[in-house]
Amino acid sequence: MNNNSQAIHIKRDILIRLVQAFDSNDFEKNTASIPFQMRPKDCEVPYRCCIYKEREIIKDRIIADMGFSLENLGESEKLEDFALQSLDRKETEGNPLTIIDAACKGCVPSRVYVTDLCQGCVARSCEKTCKFGAIEIAGGKSNIDSSKCKNCGMCISACPYNAIVRLIVPCEQACPVGAISKGDNGTAVINFEKCISCGKCVAACPFGAVNEKSQLIDILKAIKMGKKVVAMFAPAIAGQFPGTIFQLKSAMIKAGFYDVVEVAQGADVTTKKESAEFIERMEKGAPFMTTSCCAGYNNLIEKHLPEIKPYVSDTKTPLFYTAEFVKEKYPDAITVFISPCVAKRKEVQGNDNIDYVMNADELGAVFVARKIEILEMEDGKYQYESSKQGRNYGVTGGVAGAVNSLLPDDKKSKPCYIDGLTKDTIKQLKKYAKDGICTEGNLIEVMCCEGGCIGGNSTISNPKIAKKIINNLLERSKDLK
């Protein structure tokens, strides 16, 4: 989940202003004026060295929010030009993330470090604990030889004064696959061959230097042109906004969408297929099966964990089945998936039935810019009813629980959960694949984000609040049959 920091508030403010500029009579001119509106002449500079640096960062954020990469960006390029290009663009760019160099702090390298709290004590606990001979006492305090240090952290635990600390780089620390590091200029660089688009670096960076490349303008343009734009929202999105799910649909219709469909409807298809597949695999002697709904997990399998592929469910994701249904009903529709995470942007690139992705932050910005109050919307009947199980897919335990609900008593699974992809949980999955057994259970639900999709990097609600909203929705939902 995106934390409730000032960096997030700035991002949202920019998105709102960008929608307002699009809705105005002069998109290019009003887009170009946003940095000056947010940082007018003689204003107090809150974060950076000067007003010009702040304007530069705001400008780069706007460029990313219009869907463009910031890598190799020329200094002389104007916002007006990017605004025009976003209106003329026929295709969106590939990789979903980009780095704002001007916003990146260029953090010090991650390492174990001895602070001034060191007393050079007689115990020498740190020196004795280190198995690699990386610590020696010199000048009355401990010193770490970085060429020998393995960053194991044993000395941190051993020091009685808490004088040894681990210096971290938040984005690097958050990335479970080592896809982000420092470039030659000291700022962050993403290796897209390694990147699984989990978005953890986006949520982790306290400077907001890692940005999603938005497709917001493409979507607004299609709506403005009068095209039949159909929104498909993930189960987790129901927990991101106030009011009922019916009021949320009404608000989205007012925002310009032709129709709105719950992806929970596709989740019901996934549940039926995956439960049947689980029975078949177990009858053939498979030791376990993992779920296949999480796009971040599927990206991990393709790039870093091919050995677990034989154990992964062949069933498609809820979004896949929902998009099939929508395209069958509206063959000429422009389809937009409302997503809680960046990983779905990669999944969508391989599906001709899905045209664009909009995240919860962007949808919220549209509501604010167009003065749409969800709680004031009509709370009518929903056209496409989804089950209680399908609507719970965005919460850890929801997928496995849904599958188990359709299994007969003598074939119930023993579920276990990977609640968030980290370096440690990836090692755990590798061990399952290597050993060909999972002692914890035979149905492994894998969620890239802790807490499930309600903890996705593009969500806007506290996961506890989101879960409460979804639980209230489940009380009024029917069981899947």
pLDDT, tens digit, 9 for 90 and up, residues 285-331: 999 999 989 999 999 999 999 999 999 999 999 999 999 999 999 99
Residues 14-42: what's their mean pLDDT?
Answer: 96
According to the model, what pLDDT value does residue 107 have? 84
| Of 155-169, 323-337, 373-387, 464-478, the least confident | 373-387
Strands 334-339 and 229-233: parallel
Tell me how far apart the alpha carbons of residues 364 and 37 are, in angstroms, rounded to a whole number.
21
Closest by alpha carbon to 299, among 175, 194, 201, 210? 194
What does the mean pLDDT of the chain come to?
Answer: 93
Instruction: Give the Cα-Cα-Cα angle 231, 12, 77 (nearest 5 degrees).
Output: 100
Residues 136-151: what's their mean pLDDT?
Answer: 91
Tell me how far apart the alpha carbons of residues 237 and 341 are, in angstroms, rounded to a whole number.
10
CATH class of 111-167: alpha beta
Which parts of 383-451 fold into alpha helices (H)?
A: 388-391, 398-405, 423-435
pLDDT at 10 over 70: yes
Give how far Cα 338 sits from Cα of 263, 433, 476, Å. 9, 33, 23
Start-to-end Cα distance in the chain: 32
pLDDT at 77 over 90: no
Residues 96-111: what's their mean pLDDT?
Answer: 88
According to the model, what pLDDT value does residue 71 have? 87
> Where is mean pLDDT largest: 2-6, 110-114, 345-349, 391-395?
391-395
Which residues in the chain are classed under CATH 3.30.70.20? 6-106+172-214, 111-167
Domain 6-106+172-214 fold = Alpha-Beta Plaits (3.30.70)
**Continuous segment of H or E residues that includes residue 31:** helix 27-32
Tell me how far apart the alpha carbons of residues 146 and 261 are, in angstroms, rounded to a whole number.
55
pLDDT at 49 over 60: yes
Closest by alpha carbon to 297, among 180, 201, 181, 425? 425
Token code pair at residue 306: 């091919």
pLDDT at 4 over 80: no
pLDDT at 380 over 90: no
Closest by alpha carbon to 450, among 474, 424, 422? 422
pLDDT at 72 over 90: no
Is the distance from CB of 208 to CB of 7 less than 8 angstroms? yes
Residues 80-106: what's their mean pLDDT?
Answer: 91
Token code pair at residue 476: 């009024």
193-228 burial by CB neighbour count: b if 16+ within 10 A, else e? eebbbbbbbbbbbebbbbbbbbbbbbbbbbbeeeee
According to the model, what pLDDT value does residue 385 have? 77
pLDDT at 236 over 70: yes
According to the model, what pLDDT value does residue 183 have? 87
pTM: 0.91
According to the model, what pLDDT value does residue 383 have? 61
Give the DSSP letter of residue 478: B
Give the DSSP letter of residue 356: E
According to the model, what pLDDT value does residue 459 have? 93
pLDDT at 179 over 70: yes
Strands 443-447 and 415-419: parallel
Residues 77-106: what's their mean pLDDT?
Answer: 91
pLDDT at 67 over 60: yes
Give how far Cα 304 sits from Cα of 169, 294, 298, 312, Å. 22, 15, 10, 14
pLDDT at 417 over 60: yes
- Judged by DSSP in three states, 367 sits in helix
Is the distance from CB of 198 to CB of 226 less than 8 angstroms? no
CA 77 to chain centre: 29
DSSP assignment of 176-197: TT--EEE-TTSSEEE-TTT---
Q: What is the largest CA-CA distance in the chain?
A: 77
Which residues in the chain are classed under CATH 3.40.950.10? 218-475
Token code pair at residue 27: 């998109």
Q: Which one is the CATH code of 218-475: 3.40.50.9100, 3.40.950.10, 3.40.50.300, 3.90.190.20? A: 3.40.950.10
Which parts of 66-99 fold into alpha helices (H)?
A: 79-88
